[in-house]
Amino acid sequence: MQIVSIPTHPYTDQNPGTSGLRKKVTVFQQPDYLENFVQAIFDSLEDYSGKTLVLGGDGRYFNRPAIQTIIKMAAANGFGELIIGQGGLLSTPAASNLIRKNKAFGGLILSASHNPGGRDEDFGIKYNVSNGGPAPESHTDAFYKRSLTISSYKIAEIEDTDIDRIGSRHIENFKITVIDPVADYAELMQSIFDFGLLKQSIGSGFITLLFDAMHAITGPYAKRILVDMLGATPDSVINAEPLEDFGGHHPDPNLAHAQELAARMFSPTAPTLGAASDGDGDRNMITGSNIFVTPSDSLAIMAANARLIPAYAYGLSGVARSMPTSQAVDRVAASYNIPCYETPTGWKFFGNLLDAGKITLCGEESFGTGSNHVREKDGLWAVLFWLNLIARKRQSVADIVHEHWRKFGRDIYSRHDYEAIESSVANSIVERLRSQLPELPSQAFGEFIVKYADEFSYEDPVDGSVSKNQGIRIGFENGSRIIFRLSGTGTVGATLRIYLEKFEVDASSHDQDAQVSLSELIKLAEQLCEVKKRTGRTEPTVIT
Ligand code: VG1
Ligand code: CO
C-alpha cells in the first residue's frame, strides 16, 4: 500500500460547534478542506494504531466521496479496521452502538443532522470517542487547534472501495468491513423493548402508527423494525427512501417541517401514534391523535413511566436535561427521589454522566431523548419507547399526557428561533442581554418577578471540566424562565434561540395554546433582547 504525504495549508474556520463541524457542501469541496479536518482529528488522537474506526453518514450529498477519502486516510494513518455501513449509511445512534459493540477506538459520523442537504446545502463531520458518544470539548478544542497549524495529510493510494457490497476486504494489514447498517441496531432495540407485546398490539389493531422518515437515514431502520419485525402496515412508514437532498426539505422533525405527518395527525383519521426523525436519526417528534407532545414533556413522561419498559424495569439511577429543556423532568426526579442534572446544550455533556452510571435517561428540548443504551440521542428508540408505553398502559397519547399533567402540573413550553441573523446584529443582541443581567434580579414585570439572571456555566460532576457561556438564563419567582442562546449548528449567519417556559398547576388551564399562555413572557423576551427591533423581523423563523 503506497502512502503519500500531501502538503496543505490550514483553513481558519474548522472549529466544531454543538455537534461537529458543519459547513456548506461548497466549503467542504474546497481543495484539502475535508482532508485537513480529518487529519487534524487523527493528529489529536493517540494510540489508535491497528485499532477499529466506525464510519458512516446520513446519506446526504457528498457522503459517498467523503467516505472514500476517509477510508484512504484511515488506512494511511495506521488504523487496523474500518467498519462501514452499507452504502455509507449509518444513523447516529446506530454508529454509537457499533462503536460500543465492537469496542472500536472511535467513529466518524458524516452528517449535518437536521440541516438541509444537497449540492448547495450543508454537510458535516463529527468524531465520536470509544464510549460511542460525541467527542467532549477537550477533544474538539484540540481538533480546531491542530487544524490551524496543519501542513500535510496522509493518504493511501488505493482504489475506491465498493461500499455497497456487504463483506470484508483486506489491503495488507488494513481491513475494510461493510456491514448491514440496521441489523445490530435492530437487535439492540429488541433487547430493550417488549417486541412480543408490540407485535400483538399492532397486529390486533390496538395501535396504528405513522412514521415520517423525512427521506433521511431512518427509512431503512423504520421499515425493518416497525414493518418487518413488528408487523406495521408498509404505509405506516412514509418518505422512507434516503435521498441526498432529503427531497428538498428540512429533515427536521417538528410540526413546521414534517407537514405531511402533521396534517394526518390533526385529522379525523389520525393513527394512535405519529412520529418523525431527523437527517441522522437521533431526533424524534412524538404526536398522538390531535396532540403534539413537546420534547420536554416526552422526556418527563418517559422518566415517570420507565419502569414499564423491560430494560428500565429496575428504575432509573438519575436523569439529566439540557439547560433550556423545561423543568418537567425535574418534577418527576424529585417525586422519585433520584438526581436530575442540568447540562449545557449538546449531547456530548451527557456522556460522562451516563458512563458513571449517574443517569439512565436524558434529553433535550430540541427533539432529542436517549438512555444509557448508546451515547447519542436516539429517534427510533424514543418511538419504540412510546409504543411500548401505549401498549402497556392501554391509553392514548393524549390520555398519557393529560394524566401526567394532572399529576405533576404542566410546564408550558415553546422555542422561538430567529435564523440567519447577521452576526454583528446577533452579537449586539447578546451584549445587550449581558449588560442587563446585574440589574435584573428582583425587578418585577407584571406577575413575573426576576429571581436570578445569569450566564449558564457547567462544571462536569465526573471530570470537573468547566464550560462557560452556555446561554443566558432569566428565572422568575413563579418558576417561569426565559433563556437566550445562539445556535452552534447553523451555517448561515447566527440563529438566536429564545426558550420560554411557564409552570401551570391548574388542570383547567392545561389545554391552553402554548403561544397564548406564554404571550406575556414572549413580550418580555422581546423587551429584553430587541431581536425584532434590531432585525426588522416581525416573527420568529420557526416556532416549536
Ligand atoms: C441544536 C440543538 C441541540 C442539539 C444539537 C445537535 O444545537 O439545540 O440541543 O444537541 O442541535 O442536534 P444548537 O447549537 O443549534 O442549538 V442534531 O440532531 O443536529 O445532531
Ligand atoms: Co440529528
Ligand 1 center from residue 242 Cα (angstroms): 21
Q: Ligand 1 in contact with 345 (CB < 6 A)?
A: yes
Q: Ligand 1 in contact with 417 (CB < 6 A)?
A: no
Sheet containing 444-445, strands listed edge to edge, beginning at the edge strand earlier in sequence: 444-445, 448-455, 472-476, 481-486, 494-504, 410-421, 542-543
Q: What pLDDT was estimated at residue 131?
A: 97
Q: What pLDDT was estimated at residue 338?
A: 98
User: Phi and psi of 75, rounded to 5°?
Assistant: -65, -45
Q: What is the pTM of this model?
A: 0.94
Q: How far apart are CA 27 and CA 24, in angstroms?
A: 5
Of 294, 291, 218, 215, which is closest to residue 254 (Cα–Cα)?
A: 294
Q: Contact 347/377 with Cβ under 8 angstroms? A: yes
Hey, whose CA ends up nearest to atom 16 of ligand 1?
A: 487
Given the DSSP bridges, would you call strands 291-293 and 285-288 parallel, antiparallel or unpaired? Answer: antiparallel
Q: Ligand 1 in contact with 470 (CB < 6 A)?
A: no
Q: How far apart are CA 210 and CA 81, in angstroms?
A: 38
Q: How far apart are CA 525 and CA 64, in angstroms?
A: 44
Q: Ligand 1 in contact with 347 (CB < 6 A)?
A: yes
The atom number, within ligand 1, closest to the CA of 488 reads: 14
Q: Ligand 1 in contact with 18 (CB < 6 A)?
A: yes
Q: How far apart are CA 79 and CA 42, in angstroms?
A: 10
Q: Taking the CA of residue 357 as centre, how many other CA atoms within 13 Å lie in the half-sphere pointing to its CB?
A: 1
Ligand 1 center from residue 19 Cα (angstroms): 7
Domain ranges in the chain with CATH number 3.30.310.50 = 410-543
Ligand 2 center from residue 58 Cα (angstroms): 9
Give the rounded distance of the alpha carbon of 387 from its chain centre: 20
The atom number, within ligand 1, closest to the CA of 114 reads: 19
Is 3.60.20.10 the CATH classification of the domain at 3-181?
no
Ligand 2 center from residue 383 Cα (angstroms): 15
Q: Ligand 1 in contact with 396 (CB < 6 A)?
A: no
Choose one of 283, 345, 365 to mutate for the ligand 1 pocket test, by most ligand atoms within 8 angstroms of C-beta: 345
What are the beta bridge partners of residue 127?
108
138 is catalytic: no
pLDDT in tens, 201-236: 999 999 999 999 999 999 999 999 999 999 999 999
Residue 432, SS3 per DSSP: helix
Ligand of minimum distance to the alpha carbon of 367: 1
Q: What pLDDT was estimated at residue 485?
A: 96
Give the Cα-Cα-Cα angle 419, 421, 426 (nearest 5 degrees): 115
Q: How far apart are CA 73 and CA 70, in angstroms?
A: 5
Residues of the chain with pLDDT under 70: none
Of 354, 348, 372, 378, which is closest to residue 133 (Cα–Cα)?
A: 348
Q: How far apart are CA 367 and CA 363, in angstroms?
A: 8
> Pseudo-torsion of CA 519, 522, 526, 528, nearest 10°?
110
Cell triple for 74: 484511515
Q: What is the DSSP letter of 17?
A: B
Ligand of minimum distance to the alpha carbon of 419: 1
Q: Ligand 1 in contact with 251 (CB < 6 A)?
A: no
Q: Ligand 1 in contact with 122 (CB < 6 A)?
A: no
Cβ neighbours of residue 48 under 8 Å, at least 6 residues apart? 42, 77, 78, 79, 105, 106
What are the beta bridge partners of residue 288?
273, 291
Which H or E element spans position 425? helix 423-436
User: How many beta carbons lie within 10 A of that of residue 336, not counting itself?
Assistant: 16
Q: How far apart are CA 380 and CA 97, in angstroms?
A: 13
Q: Ligand 1 in contact with 91 (CB < 6 A)?
A: no
Alpha-carbon dihedral sign for residues 253, 515, 478, 440: positive
Cell triple for 256: 413546521
The CATH fold assigned to 185-408 is: Alpha-D-Glucose-1,6-Bisphosphate; Chain A, domain 3 (3.40.120)
CA distances 157 to 68, 87, 120, 176, 250, Å, are 11, 21, 29, 15, 37
Helix axes 33-44, 63-76, angle to 10 degrees: 40
Cell triple for 483: 433563556
Of 304, 262, 315, which is closest to residue 403 (Cα–Cα)?
A: 304
Set 96, 111, 113, 298: catalytic member: 113
Q: How far apart are CA 72 and CA 147, in angstroms?
A: 19
Cell triple for 114: 437536521
Q: Ligand 1 in contact with 72 (CB < 6 A)?
A: no
Q: Ligand 1 in contact with 325 (CB < 6 A)?
A: no
Q: What pLDDT was estimated at residue 108?
A: 98
Q: How far apart are CA 80 and CA 52, in angstroms?
A: 6
Q: How far apart are CA 520 and CA 504, in angstroms?
A: 14
Ligand 1 center from residue 366 Cα (angstroms): 7
Choose one of 366, 369, 492, 541 to mutate for the ligand 1 pocket test, by most ligand atoms within 8 angstroms of C-beta: 366
Ligand of minimum distance to the alpha carbon of 122: 1
The atom number, within ligand 1, closest to the CA of 366 reads: 9
Q: What is the DSSP letter of 159?
A: P
Q: What pLDDT was estimated at residue 510?
A: 80
Hey, whose CA ends up nearest to atom 4 of ligand 1?
A: 346
Cell triple for 287: 404526536
Given the DSSP bridges, would you call strands 273-276 and 285-288 parallel, antiparallel or unpaired? Answer: antiparallel
Give the homologous superfamily in CATH for domain 410-543.
Answer: Alpha-D-phosphohexomutase, C-terminal domain (3.30.310.50)
Ligand 1 center from residue 3 Cα (angstroms): 37
Ligand of minimum distance to the alpha carbon of 60: 2
Q: How far apart are CA 211 and CA 487, in angstroms?
A: 28
pLDDT in tens, 72-131: 999 999 999 999 999 999 999 999 999 999 999 999 999 999 999 999 999 999 999 999
Ligand 1 center from residue 370 Cα (angstroms): 14
Ligand 1 center from residue 367 Cα (angstroms): 9
Domain ranges in the chain with CATH number 3.40.120.10 = 3-181, 185-408
Q: Ligand 1 in contact with 81 (CB < 6 A)?
A: no
Q: What pLDDT was estimated at residue 18?
A: 85
Hey, whose CA ends up nearest to atom 10 of ligand 1?
A: 346
Q: What pLDDT was estimated at residue 491?
A: 80
Given the DSSP bridges, would you call strands 368-371 and 448-455 parallel, antiparallel or unpaired? Answer: unpaired
For 310-316, the CB contacts below 8 A with 24+ separation are 310/192, 310/193, 310/194, 311/191, 311/192, 311/193, 311/371, 311/373, 312/360, 312/361, 312/371, 316/359, 316/360, 316/361
Give the rounded distance of the alpha carbon of 88 from its chain centre: 20
